Amino acid sequence: MDQLHIENIVKDAFWKVLGPRDSLQGKSLAARLSRLTGLDELTVRGALGGLSQQRWLGGVSVQGISLGKVFPLADRPGPIVPRSLTKWVASMIAAGLGPDEVEALRPLHNQVEDLEPEDQAELVKGLLRLRAEQAAFINQPSFLVSAKFLLGASKILDQLAPTALKSFGINTTQFTGSPSVLLTAGPPIPKNVVLVENPHAFWRAITCKALETTAFVVTFGYGLSRHSDDYGNQLAALLEGQSALLGAVCAGNPPDIRTLLNHSEIAFWGDLDIEGVKIFRRLQSGIPRLQVSALYIPMIRAALNRSTSHPYIKVAAKHKQQRPDPDGEDFCRILLEACRFRAVDQEIVTVDEIIQCSDMVLEKT
Q: What pLDDT sits at residue 359?
A: 92
- Helix 330-338 and helix 274-286: axis angle, to 10°? 170
CA 41, 42, 47, 49 dihedral sign is positive
Q: What pLDDT sits at residue 231?
A: 57
Closest CA to 186 of 204, 206, 202, 200: 206
Provide the β-strand partners of residue 193: 215, 266
* Residue 325 three-state SS: coil
Cα separation, 251 vs 249, in Å, equals: 6
Q: In this structure, are residues 175 and 318 in contact, taking their beta carbons and an 8 Å threshold?
A: no
Strands (E), 62-170: 66-72
Cα separation, 155 vs 140, in Å, equals: 14
Residues of the chain falling short of pLDDT 50: 221-228, 242
Predicted TM-score (pTM) of the model is 0.56
> Which residues, 6+ apart, have CB-to-CB distance to 221 below 8 Å?
181
Q: What pLDDT sits at residue 226?
A: 36
Q: What pLDDT sits at residue 43?
A: 93
Q: What pLDDT sits at residue 225?
A: 34
Q: What pLDDT sits at residue 317?
A: 76
Q: What pLDDT sits at residue 326?
A: 52
Q: What pLDDT sits at residue 330?
A: 60
